[in-house]
């Protein structure tokens, strides 16, 4: 009897702790149990920072850059220690800190029967990719890239593969760069896998201590895992910050189990991935058509000579106004992208006044602006979705991950450095997302063409061509 | 060298004058420096608490004077207003524990000190406002102590602090009437400069000043980074 109970308790603990790498304060068990598990070698520790002759390394985020460490006087040890400045938002780690990991029997996850409760159907293009992804999981392939245009319906394409993994008793993590996207995906996956416990992890989420076979997380949260997942789905693999922060690829690699299958998703692969595809080093499946079967809107370039001089005030007649007055479908909502937060702040009032004057909006509250550190971002996006906001003035923060049914898109100063090829393709991909309004206008206002603009238009046309248009 | 706050490279205009500056690892880049806003100087600040004010003594301080027969705090001098940028820096430095960020303030603390207290340099003793033991364990360092060590003064630990609950969760009334959390562990018989990161209602500093004066300290001033 006691043996049985012990076994059950151990299994329970394993499913809570196996695959995690945590600070003492993060352990979901009390101190007494922690001490007991440590004494039985079921829980082990390793130093948070390692120091060798030449370099210091953070064992949580992999940081080795000297300037990303600093010194702090430690009260406990009475001397100065290094601490890692790179992963501080998950709690400061210094030299005398340790990270805890499970050393008992591995967690066993259920082999779920008929886990998928989704009743929709996939288009032919989606199905082809879905089957390929499922095959990759079945065969335990190391990695596969799914290159699907904006609006291809990539989440649904994952369902057969996720089902297969759940049937096999695998643990799955879907990682995406933005918390917004985690919040959006959670209800969709809960509907599609009604009986499967799903955990959503992002900074500030309340799901932290649950244990689930299927996890949706911001890529950042992977820093708390080690050898945890059989299947990893890395969404928007080209996106900031996954692309920019070396800690994230490090965490991704570490949180994978040895036989893990990694599925990368992107609409705009960076040059390095494309090169790997060309060299035959990276298997990929391409989805060139949107789920509704219509081609991608091709952006139009609009020259605006004195753009940088005229933008701050927006007084006289200008190319933007001319377009605004002559849109094909004036009922569509409007996304206006600008390169910087300063520009958004500067333009808000003049653009509101201009649109009021020409009766394009009827109240100043119909135009809102958002940026990355805007505390009201979530609410404004909801108002736009509910159509109380007609126009959003935004930085690149809304370039991906968010979907609105019927919008036109304009970029002001499309020649700015922040608008690289991937950003431009993503922004253009905001238009024509819904089958009720599958087209939409995309305008790049600029004061001189850039490589990026031309490359983006070329890429979009190429994809349409591959899609048979 | 990179900016201590935004991590941007800050080697834009290298000249001899800037060279030494660039070698200082604790500097901000030009763009972050331009985000640092300073409090108005007199006559647009209250001479008593540094709050932005058209009057020489602000409404807040008049209220204090009515409330206490003999205000133990002579005056407080602050450097920055609590704007968004400052809130972000403080959050990362103090609450998330990025100790080194405090170094940003060294030159500003020193400059404010020599301007406002330079003449009293020989007699003053710096006393940082302590943290309770619990807070100290959580954060690993006392931000006020770090600031005090930037000063060209002898620093003394005069009190221990026993907090009942978190300050920021109480309203003004509750804070002002709260029990004095400081117990003196060392009497000081020379003038004292209290050092803290933020002056919010002034209660904390007055509690500390009161304790010092009860035990024979002749005069108490305060230097704080921010006037909240
Ligand atoms: Zn780290
Ligand atoms: Zn230590
Ligand atoms: Zn900076
Ligand atoms: Zn005042």
- Transcribe B119-174 into DSSP letters: GGTTT-EEEEPPPPHHHHHHHSS-HHHHHHTTSSSEE---EEE--SS-GGGS-HHH
The alpha helices in A225-287, defined as continuous H runs, are: 247-255, 271-278
β-bridge partners, B23: none
Please state, rounded to an integer, the average pLDDT across all residues of chain B: 88
Interface test with A, best of B84, B140, B157 (most A CBs within 10 A): B140
Residues in CB range of B167: below 8 A, 6 or more apart: B175, B204
Task: Determine contact: B96 vs chain A, CB below 8 A.
Answer: yes
Alpha carbon of residue B52 to chain centroid? 16
Ion ligand 4 neighbours, Cβ < 5 Å: B 46, 48-49, 51, 58, 60-61
Residue B129, φ and ψ in degrees, nearest 5 = -70, 125
Helix (H, G, I), strand (E, B) or coil at A442: strand
For residue A460, give the nearest of A416, A430, A435 by alpha carbon.
Answer: A430
| The length of chain A, given as a count of residues | 469
pLDDT > 70 in chain B, percent? 87
CATH 3.40.50 applies to domain B56-227:
yes
Cross-chain Cβ contact A85/B92 below 8 Å: no
Give the closest of A71, A75, A88 to B97, CB-based.
A88
Per-residue pLDDT of B6-31, as tens digits, reads: 888 776 555 555 555 555 678 888 88
As a whole number of angstroms, the distance between CA A74 and CA A96 comes to 9
Task: Determine contact: A71 vs chain B, CB below 8 A.
Answer: yes
Task: Determine contact: B2 vs chain A, CB below 8 A.
Answer: yes
Alpha carbon of residue A371 to chain centroid? 17
What's the distance, Cα to Cα, between the start and end of chain A in Å?
Answer: 68
Instruction: Name the token pair of A85.
Output: 């400045």
Ion ligand 2 neighbours, Cβ < 5 Å: A 74, 76-77, 96
Helix (H, G, I), strand (E, B) or coil at A89: helix
Q: Where are the domains of chain B?
A: 56-227
Give the closest of B97, B136, B137 to A92, CB-based.
B97
Structure confidence at residue B96 (pLDDT): 92
Per-residue pLDDT of B25-37, as tens digits, reads: 788 888 898 889 9
Q: Ligand 2 centre from A418 Cα, in Å?
A: 42
Residues in CB range of B23: below 8 A, 6 or more apart: B1
Per-residue pLDDT of A153-199, as tens digits, reads: 999 999 999 999 999 999 999 999 888 889 889 999 999 999 999 99
As a whole number of angstroms, the distance between CA A160 and CA B77 comes to 65
As a whole number of angstroms, the distance between CA A121 and CA B166 comes to 55
Q: Ligand 3 centre from A347 Cα, in Å?
A: 24
As a whole number of angstroms, the distance between CA A222 and CA A444 comes to 37
Structure confidence at residue A241 (pLDDT): 63
Residues in CB range of B10: below 8 A, 6 or more apart: B1, B2, B3, B22, B27, B28, B29, B30
Higher pLDDT, B200 or A317: B200
Chain A residue nearest residue B9, CA to CA? A67
For B197, the enclosing helix (H) or strand (E) is strand B192-199
**Does the pTM of the predicted model rise above 0.95?**
no
Structure confidence at residue B23 (pLDDT): 59
| Contact between A9 and A69 (Cβ < 8 Å) | no
Structure confidence at residue A242 (pLDDT): 63
Structure confidence at residue B40 (pLDDT): 86
Q: Ligand 2 centre from A74 Cα, in Å?
A: 5
Task: Determine contact: A74 vs chain B, CB below 8 A.
Answer: yes
Checking DSSP bridges between strand A98-102 and strand A43-47, what pairing results, if any?
Answer: antiparallel
CA distances from B202 to A121, A341, B52, B133, B197 (A): 65, 35, 15, 22, 12
Cross-chain Cβ contact B99/A89 below 8 Å: no
| Contact between A363 and A353 (Cβ < 8 Å) | no
| Contact between A372 and A397 (Cβ < 8 Å) | yes
Residue A448, φ and ψ in degrees, nearest 5 = 165, 125
Instruction: Name the token pair of A41.
Output: 């070698």
As a whole number of angstroms, the distance between CA B179 and CA A318 comes to 65
Structure confidence at residue B171 (pLDDT): 67
Per-residue pLDDT of B107-165, as tens digits, reads: 999 999 999 999 999 999 999 999 999 999 889 999 999 999 999 999 999 999 987 65
Instruction: Name the token pair of A154.
Output: 């990539």
Residues in CB range of B212: below 8 A, 6 or more apart: B72, B127, B158, B184, B188, B192, B220
Instruction: Name the token pair of B37.
Output: 């806003």
For residue B48, give the nearest of B81, B82, B78, B83 by alpha carbon.
Answer: B78
Identify the residue whose tokens are 């095959």: A135
Interhelix angle for A377-385 vs A179-192, to 10°? 50
Structure confidence at residue A2 (pLDDT): 65
Structure confidence at residue A35 (pLDDT): 96
Q: Ligand 1 centre from A100 Cα, in Å?
A: 15
Checking DSSP bridges between strand A56-58 and strand A49-51, what pairing results, if any?
Answer: antiparallel
User: Which residues of chain A fall short of a pLDDT of 50?
Assistant: none
């Amino acid at each position: 009897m006691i043996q049985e109970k012990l076994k059950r308790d151990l299994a329970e603990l394993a499913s809570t702790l196996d695959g995690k790498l945590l600070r003492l304060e993060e352990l979901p068990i009390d101190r007494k149990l922690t001490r007991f598990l440590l004494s039985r070698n079921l829980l082990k520790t390793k130093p948070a920072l390692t120091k060798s002759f030449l370099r210091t390394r953070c064992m949580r985020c992999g940081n080795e850059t000297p300037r990303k460490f600093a010194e702090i006087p430690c009260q406990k040890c009475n001397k100065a220690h290094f601490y890692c400045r790179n992963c501080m938002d998950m709690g400061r780690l210094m030299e005398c800190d340790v990270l805890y990991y499970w050393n008992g029997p591995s967690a066993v996850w259920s082999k779920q029967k008929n886990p998928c409760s989704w009743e929709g159907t996939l288009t032919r293009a989606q199905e082809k990719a879905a089957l390929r992804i499922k095959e990759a999981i079945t065969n335990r392939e190391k990695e596969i890239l799914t290159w699907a245009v904006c609006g291809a319906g990539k989440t649904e394409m994952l369902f057969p593969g996720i089902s297969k993994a759940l049937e096999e008793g695998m643990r799955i993590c879907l990682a995406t760069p933005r918390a917004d996207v985690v919040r959006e995906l959670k209800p969709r996956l809960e509907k599609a896998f009604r009986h499967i416990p799903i955990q959503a992890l992002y900074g500030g989420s309340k799901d932290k201590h649950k244990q689930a076979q299927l996890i949706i997380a911001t890529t950042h949260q992977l820093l708390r895992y080690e050898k945890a997942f059989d299947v990893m789905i890395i969404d928007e693999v080209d996106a900031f910050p996954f692309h920019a922060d070396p800690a994230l690829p490090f965490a991704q690699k570490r949180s994978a189990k040895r036989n893990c299958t990694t599925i990368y998703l992107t609409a705009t692969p960076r040059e390095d991935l494309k090169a790997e595809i060309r060299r035959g080093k990276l298997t990929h499946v391409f989805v060139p058509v949107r789920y509704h079967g219509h081609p991608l809107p091709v952006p139009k370039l609009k020259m605006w000579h004195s753009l940088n001089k005229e933008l701050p005030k927006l007084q006289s007649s200008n190319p933007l106004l001319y377009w605004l007055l002559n849109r094909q479908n004036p009922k569509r909502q409007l996304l206006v992208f600008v390169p910087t937060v300063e520009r958004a702040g500067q333009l808000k009032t003049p653009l509101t006044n201009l649109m009021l004057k020409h009766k394009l909006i009827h109240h100043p509250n119909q135009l809102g602006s958002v940026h990355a550190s805007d505390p009201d971002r979530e609410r404004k996006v909801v108002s736009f979705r509910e159509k109380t906001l007609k126009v959003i003035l935004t930085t690149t923060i809304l370039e991906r991950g968010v979907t609105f049914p019927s919008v036109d898109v304009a970029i002001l100063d499309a020649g700015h450095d922040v608008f690289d090829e991937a950003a431009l393709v993503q922004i253009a991909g905001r238009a024509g997302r819904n089958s009720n309004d599958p087209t939409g206008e995309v305008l790049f206002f600029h004061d001189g063409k850039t490589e990026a603009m031309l490359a983006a238009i070329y890429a979009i046309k190429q994809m349409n061509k591959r899609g048979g248009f | 060298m990179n900016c201590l706050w935004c991590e941007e490279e800050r080697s834009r205009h290298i000249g001899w004058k800037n060279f030494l500056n660039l070698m200082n690892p604790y500097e901000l880049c030009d763009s972050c420096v331009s985000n640092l806003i300073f409090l108005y100087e007199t006559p647009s600040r209250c001479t008593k608490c540094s709050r932005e004010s058209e009057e020489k003594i602000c409404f807040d301080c008049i209220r204090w004077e009515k409330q206490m027969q003999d205000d133990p705090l002579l005056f407080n001098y602050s450097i920055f207003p609590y704007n968004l940028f400052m809130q972000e820096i403080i959050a990362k430095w103090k609450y998330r524990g990025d100790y080194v960020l405090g170094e940003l303030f060294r030159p500003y603390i020193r400059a404010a000190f020599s301007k406002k207290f330079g003449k009293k340099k020989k007699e003053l003793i710096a006393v940082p406002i302590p943290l309770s033991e619990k807070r100290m364990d959580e954060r690993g360092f006392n931000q006020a102590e770090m600031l005090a060590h930037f000063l060209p003064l002898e620093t003394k630990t005069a009190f221990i602090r026993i907090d009942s609950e978190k300050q920021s969760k109480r309203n003004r009334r509750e804070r002002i009437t709260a029990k004095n959390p400081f117990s003196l562990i060392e009497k000081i018989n020379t003038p004292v400069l209290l050092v803290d990161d933020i002056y919010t209602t002034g209660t904390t500093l007055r509690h500390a000043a009161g304790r010092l004066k009860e035990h024979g300290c002749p005069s108490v001033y305060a230097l704080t980074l921010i006037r909240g």
